[in-house]
Chain A
């Protein structure tokens, strides 16, 4: 988790056509991947979409392509569990082993393709640009009482908090091992949750202090 997870939201600068494409086009591609993966749910389509993401990463340059496999490197177990689960669902509903496998590939492959497309957007776009664009795109929401700037700040905070929580999970794990407690996930969950809440608390204070939470909130105390 330590390596690339820490750089989530950190774009890899470059001059490729993919980098320079307008923001709306990038969002559109991400959306298209999601829609295709959801609409077809066929193993060949999923595999084709995955292949397409590899091509897009390659077109964005060698350094971007080098990150393609990161989710598989760190989250392969998640995909494996999901795949097994999908296979089992289809199999127990009466499909043959092969049909069930195709079904699992379709679903998990589609998810992977959509995830890769979303990651590509983050890898080739500066977060500031993303947030500005998101803020602009969400402007109509102002009429229903939602502050688009705050929403786009929220999105960047969400991205920001993932590595922070991952780091604290690593730390809690290390501390437990140092005390000979081992890797019991139930025992580790407590401190990780506590530190996540503490992190959220401190970040909230810090944002308020920076005047980034614009509304006049009731101060704590």
Chain B
């Protein structure tokens, strides 16, 4: 299923730096959030690692058009994220760090159904499909629970279920394990391993990153390393140590 490609073509982001505005300057100074990056991702598992504030989330949000590049462009299966945002989002699901921010309905099953609403008009069929997805992730026992009563790990898995229900071919996940304890972390990683989708994820968990097929290291707005997991992790360690 993962036959997808995400291409960055000198995609970059600069924003107006409000903090640096002074009366004498004619133009508002720009601050680089992401330096131009050119690469094509087609591996089933791509991890992004790097320090806080280095630009990982920005890079990920560019894949589904939540952030539009101010220079260059990003193509998902040939569709430009800026011009064809709606089309791109049909291919890209996004899992956020905080699951509560993305769950809309009070009951687990209802939230999964909401994802299916666009594609499955019949309510009974929708319910059946939603239950099926929950079952596949081993979450059927949570179907009728309130999202407020779930543990953080359960919530994150439910959030994953709602994303998977939408059926996109690419899953982008921004630090999906950050709020999870060891057990739930392992559970989420196990679930990730079974997915047919292409997955691009940012993480601070280097063991998690090492399980990818390809790892990008982002440092101070730049992708400074792109390659095999063990080498990437070594490069990242070296960077962090040099600064310390």
Complex CA gap A9/B111 in Å reads 13
Taking a contact as CB atoms closer than 8 A, the residue among B13, B62, B66, B98 that contacts A208 in the complex is B66
Complex CA gap A118/B89 in Å reads 36
Complex CA gap A208/B205 in Å reads 27
| A151 interface residue (CB < 8 Å to B) | no
Which chain B residues lie closer than 8 Å to A174 at the CB level? none
Interface residues on B, range: 35 or more
Taking a contact as CB atoms closer than 8 A, the residue among A132, A159, A206 that contacts B123 in the complex is A132
Closest partner residue, chain A, to B115 (CB atom): A210
Residue contact A127 to B107, C-beta cutoff 8 Å: yes
Taking a contact as CB atoms closer than 8 A, the residue among A132, A202, A211 that contacts B89 in the complex is A211
Complex CA gap A194/B100 in Å reads 17
| B163 interface residue (CB < 8 Å to A) | yes
Which chain A residues lie closer than 8 Å to B90 at the CB level? 211
Number of interface residues of A (CB under 8 A): 34
Interface SS majority for chain B: mixed
Residue contact A219 to B114, C-beta cutoff 8 Å: no
Which chain A residues lie closer than 8 Å to B68 at the CB level? 218-221
Complex CA gap A217/B81 in Å reads 12
Complex CA gap A18/B13 in Å reads 55
Residue contact B96 to A127, C-beta cutoff 8 Å: no
Which chain B residues lie closer than 8 Å to A210 at the CB level? 93-94, 102, 114-115, 162-163, 166
| B19 interface residue (CB < 8 Å to A) | no
Known contacts A203-B101, A209-B89, A211-B90; A7/B106 CB under 8 A: yes
| A212 interface residue (CB < 8 Å to B) | yes
Residue contact A127 to B110, C-beta cutoff 8 Å: yes
Residue contact B104 to A219, C-beta cutoff 8 Å: no
Which chain B residues lie closer than 8 Å to A7 at the CB level? 106, 146, 148
Residue contact A211 to B166, C-beta cutoff 8 Å: yes
Known contacts A202-B101, A208-B89, A209-B89; A10/B65 CB under 8 A: no
Taking a contact as CB atoms closer than 8 A, the residue among A126, A208, A221 that contacts B70 in the complex is A221
| A6 interface residue (CB < 8 Å to B) | yes
Which chain A residues lie closer than 8 Å to B114 at the CB level? 128, 210, 212
Residue contact B67 to A220, C-beta cutoff 8 Å: yes
Residue contact A6 to B148, C-beta cutoff 8 Å: yes
Which chain B residues lie closer than 8 Å to A207 at the CB level? 102, 104
Which chain B residues lie closer than 8 Å to A160 at the CB level? 104-106
Report the number of A-B residue pairs with Cβ-Cβ less than 8 Å: 100
| A175 interface residue (CB < 8 Å to B) | no
Residue contact A221 to B67, C-beta cutoff 8 Å: yes
| A157 interface residue (CB < 8 Å to B) | yes
Residue contact B110 to A126, C-beta cutoff 8 Å: yes
Known contacts A160-B106, A209-B66, A219-B68; A202/B85 CB under 8 A: no
For residue B118, give the distance in angstroms from its CB to the closest CB of chain A. Answer: 7
Taking a contact as CB atoms closer than 8 A, the residue among B66, B96, B101, B162 that contacts A220 in the complex is B66
Taking a contact as CB atoms closer than 8 A, the residue among B85, B104, B107, B148 that contacts A153 in the complex is B104
Which chain B residues lie closer than 8 Å to A128 at the CB level? 105, 110, 113-114, 123
Complex CA gap A111/B33 in Å reads 51
What is the 8 Å Cβ interface bit string for chain B, positions 71-103, against chain A (1 contact, 0 not)? Answer: 000000000011001100110111010101110
Residue contact A127 to B105, C-beta cutoff 8 Å: yes
| A27 interface residue (CB < 8 Å to B) | no
Taking a contact as CB atoms closer than 8 A, the residue among A156, A214, A218 that contacts B105 in the complex is A156
Residue contact B64 to A209, C-beta cutoff 8 Å: yes
What are 12 A-B residue pairs whose CB atoms fall within 8 Å in the complex?
Answer: A10-B146, A127-B106, A127-B107, A128-B114, A132-B123, A160-B104, A206-B101, A210-B162, A217-B85, A219-B81, A219-B85, A221-B68
3 pairs of A and B residues whose beta carbons are closest in the complex: A206-B102, A209-B94, A202-B101
Which residues of A are in contact with B by a Cβ distance under 8 Å? 6-10, 126-128, 132, 153, 156-157, 159-160, 163-164, 199, 202-203, 205-212, 214, 216-221
